[in-house]
Amino acid sequence: ERGGGPRLPDSLLYEIFLHLGHADVLAAALVCRQWHAVARDDFLWRELFYRYYRVGRDVPRHPAAVSWYDEFQRLYDTIPCVEVQALKEHNDQVLHLSFSHSGCLFASCSKDCTVKIWSNELDISLQHSSNMRPYNWSYTQFSQFNSDDSLLLVSGVFVGPHNSSSGEIAVISMENFTLLSRVRNKPYDVFGCWLNETNLISGNLHRIGRVTSCSVLWLNNAFQGIESENVNVVKRLFKIQNLNASTIRTVMVADCSRYDSPDLLLDYEEQLAASSNSTCPVFDLGSDSEEGEAKPKQTAEPAGQELPDDGDVAAEDGLQQLFDDIMEGCVRAAMTESELETRVAELFIRNRTKPPEPNLLPTDSSSKIKYLIFTTGCLTYSPHQIGIKRILPHQMTTAGPVLGEERRSDEFFDSLDHVIDIHGHIIGMGLSPDHRYLYVNSRAWPRDCVISDPMQPPPIAEEIDLHVFDLKTMKEVKRALRAHRAYTPNEECFFIFLDVSKDFVASGAEDRHGYIWDRHYNICLAKLQHDNVVNSVAFSPVEQELLLTASDDATIKVWRSPRAVRARHARKPRPRKLLFSWLMNQKS
């Protein structure tokens, strides 16, 4: 620069830099102004980005990114992958974590039968612990703050035999940590969830036969012990028939109001505002499509399937004909007791089920509508389908008929408005912060497997697939994410909670690690180590560079991004080093 010798052409420097790693390029940028300018070339950083992160060349840059350099820095420097604290106040397996909406508090549930509430200040500290053993609980398994963070829903499992499925939901006030109400919940892995600030959803299960049952979802007022005796505190939401030993589990509520203004669009063509003809499968059991005809014969017909106009008459005739055949001994000998029970239940459902809501997809008038989402099934007891039921505004309060007196006599059951078939054992679900996308952890069944006995589901894969569904279009988007693994068989399989932030999705796994992926690029960015199974993860809702992980090692680990760690602990850097400070103290 001071006339000491000829300078290399920029084009030659560019070609040389293409053969370097990103750390060497940043180091070369400190040599002189010319090298600095070439080292910041956006085309160079695009090549470095695709090569380092192994992203497909057909994947465009994040829609909010200003440059490829900034995008490289974002993925390198803002992932919460640095362990900054380990919380060991639990003395048994930690099963679940949940943040308050403000991010100031979080709750943890454990096999030690306590729910602990933590303060998320500069250093996380324990604020309160509630022991649920006096209420005959075996352990706490799930928690959720209501929308204004004034109440905490805690779900637990009753003490009982190994095959018991009974549980309970407790509501705790965040003002003074008092127990406000308790609601029965069966099966316990319904978990429960808030519908709004003061009403929560619980479940109940009624056995009808060996493999047939009825799931009832209830709307409960959180202040049951305080309300007037003349005011309803509970109301039946839906009553759904279960076939082949399946049950409704893992309920959650999605709000449709933000579907047209999501935090992040995952469809690349939609990002470019181009017309798209997606080839992703649509699972709409509320419409007459060729997909229904292509289903394998062992698939039981879900309750949400519409029937032709003469369906009621046909169902009655079919049920009567089946009974006549049984009495006359004409039923084929190969039909087992379970198959016979299922066949009778199918025919009964057709004639005693309220039809699904028309046009499930959101419209301009759907801002006040919510979706009730849950796991279910139709072939076996392991959850392999996602059921979706629309909740209308008049259903969001306990006021009105208590036990569904508004129903007609022929509307004994509610149908599902939509069903998504996963073809595998579902072990986790989570919504994006804008509720536009549903993320599902599942362990796949073998291709072309046939289920002949609902009590013997197919073997499941060790690899966990993380599927993504767009709840606005009811389509699967992107390819399934992979990296995490699980090893337990069907009968021992347990829920692994995942969480989604604006840009990232994280999940636990049985391989003693938590995992973080980028939602836009579909790539795994970090593995977070524990000494045992990682059951749950939780992003701070106001700071996605803070992540919690909970494990069977009885530990909650706190992870922050390299950038957040520097901001909290490092001294103010000198101006020259500030340019590339995000790379310092990091592994290449």
Low-confidence ranges of the chain (pLDDT < 70): 1-5, 162, 225-232, 269-335, 337, 341, 343-352, 357-367, 400-411, 570-588
Query: Per residue in 353-371, pLDDT tens?
Result: 777 766 655 554 456 789 9
- For the chain, domains (ranges, CATH) are 10-78 (1.20.1280), 82-260+366-400+411-570 (2.130.10.10)
Per the structure block, which two tokens stand in for 146?
Answer: 């209501």
Q: What is the chain's Cα-based Rg? A: 27
d(CA 585, CA 562): 9
Give the chain's largest Cα–Cα span. Answer: 107
Per the structure block, which two tokens stand in for 409?
Answer: 């006599």
Query: Per residue in 297-346, pLDDT tens?
Result: 344 444 333 333 444 445 455 555 555 555 555 655 556 767 776 766 66
Q: How do strand 504-507 and strand 498-500 relate by DSSP bridges?
A: antiparallel
Q: Which residue has the tokens 């006599």?
A: 409
Residues in CB range of 525: below 8 A, 6 or more apart: 75, 79, 81, 504, 516, 517, 518
What pLDDT, on the 0 to 100 scale, is given for residue 99?
98
Residues in CB range of 468: below 8 A, 6 or more apart: 266, 437, 438, 439, 440, 476, 477, 478, 480, 481
Per the structure block, which two tokens stand in for 452?
Answer: 């002949």
Nearest to 360 by CA among 287, 443, 417, 318: 417
d(CA 146, CA 153): 8
pTM value is: 0.84
Cα–Cα distance list, 586 to 153, 552, 560 (Å): 40, 29, 14
Order of strands across the sheet with 151-158? 137-145, 151-158, 167-173, 179-185
d(CA 539, CA 564): 14
